[in-house]
Amino acid sequence: MKFFEKIERKFSRYAIQGVPRLIAMLYGLGMVIQFFNPMIYFQFLSLDGGAIIHGQIWRIITFMMYPPISMAGGFQINLMGILLNMMIIPTYYFLGTTLENIWGAFRFNVYFFMGILGHVLGAVAAYLIWGVNVYLTPVYLNFSLFIAVALMFPEVQFFLFGAIPVKAKYLAAAETAIYLYEFARGPLITKLEVGLSLMNVALFFLMTRNVRRFSPKEMKRKREFKAQAKIMPAGRTRHRCAVCGRTEEDGAQIEFRYCSKCTGSYEYCQDHLYTHQHVAGDPEVPPPKA
């Protein structure tokens, strides 16, 4: 949508880089806390709507420490939880990093922080409306990362149980069906977590129209371009975004590519490659600036 694109052009420079890494670090810290005393999370760190209203605003961030697999229980359960989390957390990191590389940091920030905000508002609303505390966790919000990746890469294969190749679109369909079943049969807390997570996916893609098909070959070309971009004459910038004017000197993590649909040789950063207005006609006319 044009309104979102205007917001992106104006505020993309303030986007937080490396959010998937920060999320993985929160999970790791949450694993340590749950290993020694799971109740510390629920008493002081969880998403408690009543506590937030009374000033414990740190819970807006610390509730993300809840690991993908709960480790509550005895010593053996904790050890099993650590092993399972050590397999799942890198997967979430990979999914988040993939989305951040494709969308750009700004759009990934919007996607994930909008999901966090939805959970916070849901917990606070439940407390104000029903007078109960619902301890929402980020479990379904994390699962929704895979749905977002499947919308971008529907034909990419994942290996189920490490051996069975299944296309992302089929896994996402099965996962969504499980979500809907748990939404229909689960308690209030499950309904809120599932509903808010799926709503976050729908809202983001409707707001940004960001469903775009990619292939492993395109990802390979992107990596090769990034490697070539590091080779440049001393004291000169080799790349400059035609929209925001950023160059490689503004950050080593910024990627640049040319748009094949624009008339002329126009180069764009990762945040504007798929969101700029295509240049047609006179190649000397520059695209609109931020």
Residue 123 maps to a domain = yes
Q: Give the separation between CA 16 and CA 108, rounded to whole angstroms.
A: 9
Residue with more model confidence, 251 or 205? 205
Domain that includes residue 102, residue range: 2-138+178-208
Residue 161 maps to a domain = no
Beta bridge partners of 166: 158
Q: Give the separation between CA 30 and CA 68, rounded to whole angstroms.
A: 10
Residue 247 maps to a domain = yes
* Cβ proximity of 267 and 242 under 8 Å: yes
Residues 185 and 54 grouped into a single domain:
yes
* Cβ proximity of 147 and 158 under 8 Å: no
* Cβ proximity of 98 and 149 under 8 Å: yes
Residues 51 and 183 grouped into a single domain:
yes
Whether pLDDT at 56 is above 90: yes
Residues 252 and 203 grouped into a single domain:
no
Residue 153 maps to a domain = no
- Range scoring the smallest mean pLDDT among 140-149, 252-261, 278-287: 278-287
Q: Give the separation between CA 171 and CA 163, rounded to whole angstroms.
A: 14
Q: How many domains is the chain built from?
A: 2
Residue 169 maps to a domain = no
pTM over 0.75: no
Label the pairing between strands 164-167 and 267-269: unpaired
Q: Give the separation between CA 137 and CA 195, rounded to whole angstroms.
A: 13
pLDDT at 255: 81
Using the structure block, give the residue that is written with the tokens 């959010």: 19
| 173-219: pLDDT as tens digits | 998 898 899 899 888 888 888 998 888 888 888 777 655 544 455 55
Residue 164 maps to a domain = no
Residues 182 and 265 grouped into a single domain:
no
Residue with more model confidence, 86 or 145? 145
Residues 19 and 102 grouped into a single domain:
yes
